[in-house]
Amino acid sequence: MITIPTVFILGAGASAEYGFPLGNDLVRMIVAGTEGNGPLYPELLAAGFSGTEVTTFSRKLRDSDSLSIDTFLEGNGGGQFQPIGKAAIAITILRAEQMSIVGQKWLGQNVPADHWLRYVWNLMRSGCASSKDFTKNKVAVVTFNYDRSVEWYFRTVLESAFNLPGPSDAATLFESAVQVAHLHGKIAHREFGQYNTLSGQEVKQIASGIRVVHDAADEPQFKTAYKLFGEAQLLCLLGFGYHPVNIDRLRLNQSLPRHTAILAST
């Protein structure tokens, strides 16, 4: 078990080996997907956006040369592109979740020989004679990522490892053991990887969980993160790009106790 209060901060690199795009790759995928013949175009039209709105958004995003979709949407004066941007993010990430399963990036033949989620899971499982013991772990996750890879992975392995009745039982066990804060939100109203052609209403539903952050102090997920940092004895940053804006928003200098150990990677 992990008995030292530990918080993982995840950037895009933490999901990359499981088939999810890095920030600049997500921008390129959304630009290509929102062009006239792109896969996102008809679903955005179904959600009520006009063809002109979609193509204008695609062109502006392309010409902004932004390294991340978050930066583009946060800097967009008046929020003109936020609704369509959130929808495009949600569709693209849901499609990536589906492809990560189809491509067997998790529990099939294409799984990396030694990936970080497996390592953490086996540390947490060690010494657990029952599912009740698993809840004694002291682990939390703060992620900048929209995907739900951490939740899906643990739901899958917990169900099999402890012979639980079903996925919902595994999800409940995970939620009781590990708090996950998605700083920029996550896909809503849809299970991990359950993508097919979406109706307009479904596009609006999955996009409702995406957040565009202007002031971190006003965001509930950031407030949750600050509380978790204040309780941490070990902080692990994985796949993180260390963008100055993101570092500032984390407020680690203000939130972390002085004795907290920090392990960091990119």
Is 186 among the domain residues?
A: yes
Is 185 among the domain residues?
A: yes
Residue-wise DSSP of 113-160 = SS-HHHHHHHHHHTT-SSHHHHTT--EEEEE--SS-HHHHHHHHHHHH
Look at residues 58, 90, 76 and name the one whose alpha carbon lies nearest to residue 214. 76
Is 109 among the domain residues?
A: yes
- DSSP β-ladder status, 139-143 and 178-182: parallel
Calpha distance 153→20 (Å, rounded):
14
Is 14 among the domain residues?
A: yes
Is 134 among the domain residues?
A: yes
Is 1 among the domain residues?
A: no
Residues 6+ apart with CB under 8 A from 153: 106, 117, 121
Residue 97: domain span? 6-264
DSSP, res 100 = H
Structurally, the chain folds into a number of domains equal to 1
pLDDT at 104: 59
Calpha distance 161→114 (Å, rounded):
19
- pLDDT, tens digit only, all 266 positions of the chain: 999 999 999 999 999 988 899 999 999 999 999 998 899 999 999 999 999 999 999 999 999 999 999 999 988 766 889 999 999 999 999 999 998 876 555 555 666 777 899 999 999 999 999 999 999 999 999 999 999 999 999 999 999 999 999 999 999 999 999 999 999 999 988 888 888 888 999 999 999 999 988 767 678 999 999 999 999 999 999 999 998 989 999 999 999 999 999 999 87
Is 230 among the domain residues?
A: yes
